Structure formats: structure tokens, C-alpha cells
Amino acid sequence: MKILITGGAGFIGSAVIRYIINNTNHSVVNLDNLTYAGNLESLSNIESNTRYFFEYADICNAVELERIFSECQPDAVMHLAAESHVDRSIDGPAAFIETNIVGTYTLLEATRAYWNTLDTDKKAAFRFHHISTDEVYGDLDGPEDLFTEDTPYAPSSPYSASKASSDHLVRAWQRTYGLPTIITNCSNNYGPYHFPEKLIPLVILNALAGKALPVYGDGQQIRDWLFVEDHARALYKVVTEGEVGETYNIGGHNEKANIDVVKTICQLLEELVPVKPDGVAKYQDLITYVLDRPGHDVRYAIDASKIERELNWKPEETFESGIRKTVEWYLDNKQWWSRVLDGSYAGERLGVF
């Protein structure tokens, strides 16, 4: 199988590519336009593999997409390219509308045109897998409620509204044109190679530098944390075994309040890096409460029983084991994150392209 993966230089996309190259015989074409969130250094362990190819392209560019489909002849598309950071969507929603909505539309149309050229067997076997978020469902009222695949959409932020729009487009392309699509909606991911603007890597790296650990509002917002390598395994199961037209929710059964996540990281650092930056007595002393994000959803939690039941997938990591692996990875991979922090990961691409 040859799989075209959009957004493969990002956090989750790179985990999916590493998983497929290391665990299967399939080929992967990584289509990415390397925004600030795209980092080819996350793929340095597999980039020389002969089953891995990179295409520098924008999903909004219909001409480029047509060329790539015709040259690559993929058997499946896994669509992860997106603008993904909620805070950025509040400050500047335009890029989210462009990439997440117009880009998904342009990719769907390019996929449809290519799919229509396939013979009957290949057409039936083809899959367009759209990777989305549980944030499309808005937030949960009761402490016991869970998002199921039937929960109505009620997005709160420009990011989640743009992802909800893209989900609707994908469903419409399946219903209207018969394109064999599958959608997955997953909870907050964490793990190695996570861009340091997101909560968990930000807290780890700020604590190591003796900087403030910012926590929105009272820190009681609850997220269901999913280790990125568990997610990559789930996505591979869905694209190879999932039912066309279906949606699968993917979650880690790890509901944690943000403040507890931050405190857990501080405790791990006390154990793993007892020698602290100057002037820091305890990492936890660095916690600083900041003004809450507008429209901040209070609680997300996923009912992942459908994918567990139908595709026999289960997360392997608990939050405790996954967060320890993550902190250890950041301690062992200073070169990766220091090149992100100083911007040199992005400078290098100017020489390549």
C-alpha cells in the first residue's frame, strides 16, 4: 500500500509516519508545506528509508495536488495537515479557515478527481481518512458525560469550528460523491516531538529553564490525554480496517485537570532533575495562574468504546506511564527542542527548498 499523509511533518503526522515505516511494509508520501509546526527533524530516524518520500506542497494548491496524486498513485490518504493551536486561532483565525476548511475542500476535490480514474477494485479499496478533534463537540455538562460518535457538534473556538466544518465537508463528499471516507475524532495528544507551544512540552521546558509555568484560569479544565504513539496505532487500524462512512472517537481514558497535569510534571522533574535552575526551590513554585482563554471549554472526555469493540484497539499507555516517557524524552532530546526554541529547525528548510 502507498499512503499519502498530509501534515506528516507535524506532531501526530510524524508519529504516524514513524509507526508505519517501522511496523509495516507500506510506503508513505509525506505532503507538507512546513508551517512553523512542520519539522522534518521529527522524521530524521526514518528519512533515509526507501519507502519514505517527501512532497513540499500546500493542500490549498489544487495544481500541485493534481500532480502529486498523478505521480504517487496512492491507495489511501490520511489527512492531518491543519492549523492546530487554539490560541493562535483566537489571535488570527484566517489561516485556520484557509487551511482547515478551504484546504480540506481542495484536497477532497483532488482526491475525488484521482479516485474517479481508478479501476473498480482500486476504487472500492481506496480510503480517505480525515483526522479530527473531540473539540468539535464543544464541552461536556455533567462530570460523567462522554462524547460519543453521535454527540451533536457545538464547537467553541475558531479552531474547533474550522475542524467541524472540515468534518462536514468530508461527510458530504462521502454521501454525495461516494468517496470512501472515514473520520476520527481524538482527544488531546501528548508525547515526543510535541511543539513547545502546547501545554505539556511548554511546562517541561519552562520548568527546566526556571521560567513561569502558565496555567489558564483556575486550571480546572479537564482534558482526556492520549499518548501520541497510541493514537498513531489507532489511526493505522482505522485506515486499514475501518468501515467506510463511519466515525471513530479515539481517547486515552485519562481525564486530568490541567493543574494536575502541571503538578505531575513538576513531581517527575523533582525526581529526574533534582538540581534545579538558580533561585528555584521547587518546580511547583513556578506555577503562575494567568487570565483564562476566551471561550475556554471546561471538560472534554471521550467514549472510545466503538474503536475498542470494532477494531480491537486499546491505549497501551496510562497517563502515568506516558507522561514519564514524555518527560524522559525531552530530557534525552535537547538537540531537537533547542533547535525548535532557537528557530534553527525552520531556517534549515530555506537551504533545502
Q: What amino acid positions are annotated as catalytic residues? A: 134-135, 159
Residue nearest to ligand NAD (CB): 10
Is there binding between residue 254 and ligand NAD (CB under 6 A)? no
* Cα three-residue angle 211-217-220, rounded to 5 degrees: 105
CB-based contacts of 324-328 (< 8 A; 24+ apart in sequence): 324/268, 325/191, 325/192, 325/227, 326/190, 326/191, 326/192, 326/194, 326/200, 326/204, 326/227, 327/204, 327/265, 327/268, 327/269, 327/272, 328/272
4, 10, 158, 208: residue in contact with ligand NAD (rule CB under 6 A): 10
* DSSP, res 243: P
4, 17, 29, 34: residue in contact with ligand NAD (rule CB under 6 A): 34
To ligand NAD, the closest distance from the beta carbon of 201 in angstroms equals 11
The residue ranges of DSSP E strands in the chain, in sequence order, are 2-6, 27-32, 52-56, 76-79, 127-133, 181-186, 189-190, 213-216, 222-224, 226-227, 247-250, 255-257, 287-290
Segment near ligand NAD (CB under 6 A); pick from 188-196, 276-284, 294-302, 303-311: 188-196
Asked if residue 156 lies in contact with residue 139, where contact means CB atoms within 8 angstroms, the answer is yes
Is there binding between residue 35 and ligand NAD (CB under 6 A)? yes
Q: Which is nearer to ligand NAD, 102 or 172 (CB)?
A: 102
Is there binding between residue 32 and ligand NAD (CB under 6 A)? yes
> Who's near 349: CB < 8 A, 6+ residues apart?
34, 40
17, 20, 37, 311: residue in contact with ligand NAD (rule CB under 6 A): 37
46, 60, 65, 170: residue in contact with ligand NAD (rule CB under 6 A): 60
Strands 222-224 and 255-257: antiparallel
3, 43, 59, 204: residue in contact with ligand NAD (rule CB under 6 A): 59
Dist. CA 12–CA 228, nearest whole Å = 6
To ligand NAD, the closest distance from the beta carbon of 9 in angstroms equals 4
Q: Which is nearer to ligand NAD, 64 or 174 (CB)?
A: 64
To ligand NAD, the closest distance from the beta carbon of 270 in angstroms equals 26
Q: Which is nearer to ligand NAD, 132 or 157 (CB)?
A: 132
Residues that bind ligand NAD (CB under 6 A): 6-7, 9-13, 32-35, 37-38, 58-60, 80-82, 84, 99, 103, 131-133, 163, 186, 188-189, 195
